């Protein structure tokens, strides 16, 4: 098989993964309303970004997902609002950027875990700073802080563990 067809198959694989992640991110609000559960507490779009980072391992694709997840959801289901989507794009891009910068120093599980924790926390700081500036909300933090920290810690642990398994194979 020549390299062109391998690249084409790889691009189709990446595109299929991205479309699946976008679909899941768009379905979560509908499922949330259907079941009357606040699934947004779990930050599903951020989890889809992390899944994309694990499955594709290409920083350009991670940035693409960082932009597409909030924008496609906004266009498909009306949530988030445009300014909130902009805040989320900045948050997710910050996660990709910070993790990418710290990743080169992380060759062990704890290093990867630390890099992802720092990246997600930096992303949250970016999100809330922009939200405060652009939206001037009466209530800045809607999702309980403890729940956000729990999701960040659990997602970072899962990401590090799965990346560790992936690199062993």
pLDDT the model gives residue 6:
46
pLDDT one digit per residue (tens) for the chain, 169 residues:
334 544 665 888 888 988 999 998 888 877 777 787 777 888 889 999 999 999 998 899 999 999 999 999 999 888 888 999 999 999 999 999 999 988 877 665 558 888 999 999 999 999 999 999 998 877 787 888 899 999 999 999 999 889 888 887 6
Residue 159 lies in domain: 3-168
Angle between helix axes 44-56 and 3-35 (nearest 10 degrees) is 160
pLDDT the model gives residue 1:
36
pLDDT the model gives residue 127:
95
pLDDT the model gives residue 3:
43
User: Within a 10 A sphere around the Cβ of 146, how many other Cβ atoms?
Assistant: 8
Q: What is the largest CA-CA distance in the chain?
A: 59
Q: The CATH number of the domain where 125 resides is what?
A: 1.10.1760
Give the pTM.
0.86
Tally helices (H) and strands (E) across the chain. 6, 0
pLDDT the model gives residue 152:
93
Q: What's the total number of domains in the chain? A: 1
pLDDT the model gives residue 26:
83
Burial class of residue 165 in the structure, from the number of CB atoms within 10 Å of its CB (0-12 exposed, 13-18 middle, 19+ buried): exposed
């Amino acid at each position: 098989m020549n390299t062109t067809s391998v690249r084409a198959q790889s691009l189709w694989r990446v595109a299929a993964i991205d479309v699946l992640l976008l679909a899941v991110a768009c379905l979560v609000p509908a499922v949330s309303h259907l079941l009357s559960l606040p699934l947004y507490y779990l930050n599903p779009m951020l989890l889809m970004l992390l899944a994309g980072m694990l499955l594709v391992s290409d920083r350009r694709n991670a940035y693409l997902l960082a932009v597409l997840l909030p924008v496609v959801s906004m266009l498909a289901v009306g949530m988030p609002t445009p300014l909130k989507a902009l805040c989320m794009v900045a948050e997710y891009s910050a996660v990709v950027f910070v993790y990418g910068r710290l990743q080169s120093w992380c060759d062990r599980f704890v290093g990867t875990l630390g890099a992802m924790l720092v990246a997600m926390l930096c992303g949250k700081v970016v999100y809330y700073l922009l939200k405060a500036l652009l939206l001037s909300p009466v209530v800045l933090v809607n999702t309980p802080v403890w729940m956000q920290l729990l999701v960040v810690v659990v997602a970072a642990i899962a990401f590090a563990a799965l990346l560790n398994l992936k690199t062993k194979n």
